[in-house]
Amino acid sequence: MNKILAACFCALLASCMGSDYADPNMTENPFGNSQIAETNVMNIGDLKESKDFKFIIANGAYKKVEKSIQIKGRVTGNDAQSNLYNTISIEDATGAIEVSVGQGGTSGFMPVGQEVLVELKGLYIGGYRKKAQIGTVYTSANGTLGIGRMNRQEWAQHYKIIGTADPSQVVPTEFDVTKIADASYINANASRLMTISGVEFSAADGKAVYAPDDGSVTLTSNCANRTLKGLDEKKIVVRTSTYAKFAKAVLPTGKVKITGIFSRFNDTWQIQIRSLDDVVADDPFAGIDGTGLGTAESPIDVTRALSLIAKSAYEATKEYYVTGIISKIKEVDTGNYGNATYYISVDGKDANNLTVFRGYNIGGEKFTAEDQIKVGQKVVVAGTLTLYGTEPEMNAGNKIISIK
């Protein structure tokens, strides 16, 4: 009798579960709200500049979205390395905005390159120190109200995952340093994924790290602001949380290219890198012909020296090491000046020459005999580069490093 009742119960349970339980629908993304339909999409740039929210954002206020407005863009930054805390950066062709949500692990279902549709009705848009955010009303410890993090349950009802992530669709914009203090530029580009090239960390000495927590650096909200050489710290910094997985990584020395979310704090750019992969050694010879780095260990060849000059890509005060073969000698002064003017090329032929103007012998010594240099000899010469009229040359005062 018990076996018969058990069989009947199982049959009844199976019928209540229905066919969907036995054969689950695997086409819908389990995250977010798949029921959101694309009906009233607004460009992010237009949203931030709209009469409803422009003043709100600029003045640190907030406003609830009362009508159905949507934005659609791709994720450019998340919490994968814990430097963008409770923040998801979303960008389209017109601008970017940050979503503030009290949820960790968002990188698992919102990786970089993931397209997402966000229904804004019922959420709040506001400004934190002029930075545009999507979130909810937040009460600080002192009772001040402002824009802050929504809870994950609320957020889940307001976004829809579209397709699969495609990181190739996320291409950083090159930051224009000449517009670093341009108010319209920061308004238009704040929170974008951008790249700044040819910069150096001021504190980089082979030991300093991104975000130490040992008291060696003043922290604000558990973050360290690192400055860049030659750039006003009131205008731009690299901001890293002490909780970032790379917080204790050593700052790279030399010129680097930095990619990150170019957030803002009032009128200061705050670059937030997403991982150590966002900081790479800068290639000063990108787009320049020839070979070599211009150092004693890696001299540039004449082709690269000529390319640097032709493209005005050389640094006027920098000493470059250049290697070539003497193709012609114009003059060797063995008197008071003790210098020589000659030409070098890649192959020793009298074409595609770099003029070595009034240079000195090895170690900066004066020439005492005309036969101290000869056509066909291979030399490494150190000096500054210039374009004199139409003639590419190495400035007077250069010296031979080696000759053979």
pLDDT at 298: 93
pLDDT at 248: 97
Residue 8 CB contacts under 8 Å (≥ 6 apart), including other chains: none
Q: What is the CATH number of the domain that holds 276?
A: 2.40.50
Question: Do 186 and 123 share a structural domain?
Answer: no
Over residues 19-70, the pLDDT tens digits come to 444 444 545 678 999 999 999 999 999 999 999 999 999 999 999 999 999 9
Question: Do 277 and 383 share a structural domain?
Answer: no
Over residues 299-326, the pLDDT tens digits come to 999 999 999 999 999 989 999 999 999 9
121 — pLDDT class (breaks 50, 70, 90): very high
Question: Do 177 and 165 share a structural domain?
Answer: no
Q: How many domains does the structure of the chain reveal?
A: 3
Question: Do 154 and 60 share a structural domain?
Answer: yes
Question: Do 50 and 163 share a structural domain?
Answer: yes
Question: Do 135 and 210 share a structural domain?
Answer: no
Q: What is the CATH number of the domain that holds 384?
A: 2.40.50.140
Question: Do 131 and 193 share a structural domain?
Answer: no
Residue 84 lies in a domain: yes
- Contact indicator for 300, 380 with CB cutoff of 8 Å: no
Question: Do 327 and 260 share a structural domain?
Answer: no
Pick the more confident residue, 8 or 72.
72
Domain-ending residue, one of 169, 200, 219 = 169
Question: Do 63 and 148 share a structural domain?
Answer: yes
pLDDT at 155: 95
Question: Do 312 and 249 share a structural domain?
Answer: no
Q: Provide the percentage of residues in the chain whose pLDDT is more than 70.
A: 93
Q: How far apart are CA 3 and CA 17, in angstroms?
A: 21
Question: Do 120 and 81 share a structural domain?
Answer: yes
Name the helix (H) or strand (E) containing 62.
strand 62-64
Residue 393 lies in a domain: yes
pLDDT at 107: 87
- For the cut 70, the answer to whether the pLDDT of residue 380 exceeds it is yes
Over residues 148-180, the pLDDT tens digits come to 999 999 999 999 999 999 999 999 999 999 999
What mean pLDDT value characterizes the chain?
91
Q: Which domain holds residue 304?
A: 300-403
Distances in Å between the alpha carbon of 364 and those of 322, 340, 355, 367? 15, 12, 18, 9
Residue 134 lies in a domain: yes
The Cα angle at residue 227 between residues 223 and 231, in degrees rounded to 5: 145
Name the helix (H) or strand (E) containing 20.
helix 2-22
Residue 178 lies in a domain: yes
Domain-ending residue, one of 169, 186, 204 = 169
